[in-house]
Amino acid sequence: MEVPRVAVAVVTMGNRPEEVDALLESVAKQDLAPVRIVIVGNGCRLPEFAGRISLPCEVTAIDVEENLGCPGGRNVALARLREFGDVDVVVELDDDGLLVDPDVLRRVGDLFAADPRLGIVGFRIADEHGQTQQRHVPRVGSSDPLRGGYVTGFLGGGHAFRMAMLDQTGDWPARFFFAHEEIDLAWRAVDRGWRILYAPELVLRHPRTSPARHAIYYRVNARNRVWLVRRRLPAALIPVHLGVWIALTLLRVRSTAGLRAWFGGFVEGLREPAGERRPMRWRTVWRLTRLGRPPVI
């Protein structure tokens, strides 16, 4: 069983230098050294990393003039890793995350080596007290965050991809900028026959936050949901999915300003081009349903 070559990719806007240093130090303590580390400065100029932290490999720093959003910045890192040509698996980590255990990269490599159809491994995102928010568990309902297994999605803050899978599915949907890009990529992976594993023993420590902290949250959340289903669902399921989420939004969002922004984004998603349309097959719909999350929830 050959262990795949693992790289690490981080995207930052340059506003968390201490957190990035701490993350890199946690990478340096891994008992399996990454073959590459790529850091993308999303609309910022990165500092020199050489000499600041003792790392097991050279850090490739890439400055991008404008903020491309999470998916766009990650695509920049993936493009550079492909140029190197010596990476089998890439671990993507939030810039304010931290690898608590020293064996995360080795375990990631072992998981991919053991299952040739494993395309994505999702980490458990836990706060500084070890608690996992329910929205960070990739299952419907009040699932035990410590129960692993095959799932239909993954968390953007900490995960690993097989590069061969990305060659088939394509990379992140850059035009999403923020919100639902993980679902788009996960559905493409499942539709191509790849498996997604939630591995709660792989922990990324991350500050407890709410996605609504972003000023654009409600508008972009709604716009991208419409784009998502226009791109990926069979036509018959599009009104069902959107109807479910309109109802859930009306139940959950108490702010008039939030609802106004959400419905503004919803209309934007209907009017603006969504990009490629490549709907999943009906057997993929059934597979997602059997895994516990039909693509209307």
State yes or no: pLDDT of 212 exceeds 60.
no
**Residues 6 or more apart whose Cβ sits within 8 Å of residue 99:** 23, 26, 27, 29, 30, 93, 203, 204, 205
Which amino acid would we find at residue 268? E
Q: Is 70 exceeded by the pLDDT of residue 50? A: no
Residue 284 forms part of a structural domain: no
Distance CA 90, CA 10 (A): 10
| pLDDT of amino acid 95 | 96
3-state secondary structure at position 2: coil
Q: Does residue 264 share a domain with residue 178?
A: no
Confidence of residue 260 (pLDDT cuts 50, 70, 90): very high
Q: Tell which residue, 169, 175, 22, 27, has the closest CA to residue 92.
A: 27
Give the pLDDT mean for 140-163: 92
Structure tokens at 199: 């591995």
Tokens 């990165």 correspond to 46
Which amino acid makes up residue 179?
A
Instruction: Quote the CA–CA distance of 178 and 12 in Å, as a whole number.
Output: 14
- Confidence tier at 53 by pLDDT (50, 70, 90): confident
154 within 8 A of 182, measured Cβ to Cβ: yes
Does pLDDT of 101 surpass 60? Answer: yes
Q: Is the separation of the CB atoms in 75 and 172 below 8 Å?
A: yes
Determine the Cα–Cα distance for residues 81 and 267; give it in Å rounded to an integer.
37
What type of residue sits at position 38?
V
What does the DSSP 8-state code read for residue 272? S
> Residues for the chain: how many in total?
297
Q: What digits encode the pLDDT tens for the residues 155-171?
A: 999 999 999 999 999 99
Among residues 209, 224, 251, which one ends one of the domains? 209
Domain limit, last residue, from 209, 230, 251: 209
Q: For residue 297, tell me if it sits in a domain.
A: no
CB-based contacts of 256, cutoff 8 Å, min separation 6: none
Do 204 and 221 lie in one domain? The reply is no
> Same domain, yes or no, for 173 and 29?
yes
Predicted pLDDT of residue 86: 95
**pLDDT tops 70 at residue 130:** yes
Residues 154 and 71 in one domain: yes
pTM of the model: 0.94
The answer on pLDDT for 57 being more than 90 is no
- pLDDT value of position 114: 97
pLDDT of residue 51: 57
Average confidence score pLDDT of the chain: 93
> How large is the average pLDDT for residues 91-108?
97
Does residue 105 form part of some domain? yes
The radius of gyration computed from the CA coordinates of the chain, to the nearest angstrom, equals 19
Q: Is 113 in the same domain as 203?
A: yes
Residue 84 scores a pLDDT above 70: yes
Mean pLDDT of 104-113: 98
Banded model confidence at residue 55, pLDDT cuts 50, 70, 90:
confident
Number of domains in the chain: 2
Which structural domain range is residue 169 located in? Answer: 6-209
Indicate which CATH number applies to the domain containing 124: 3.90.550.10
Statement: residue 96 has pLDDT above 90: yes
Is residue 272 assigned to a domain?
yes
Q: Please say whether the beta carbons of 93 and 23 come within 8 A.
A: yes
Q: Structure tokens of 268?
A: 């934007």
Let me know if 24 is exposed, middle or buried by CB neighbors in 10 A (0-12, 13-18, 19+).
Answer: buried
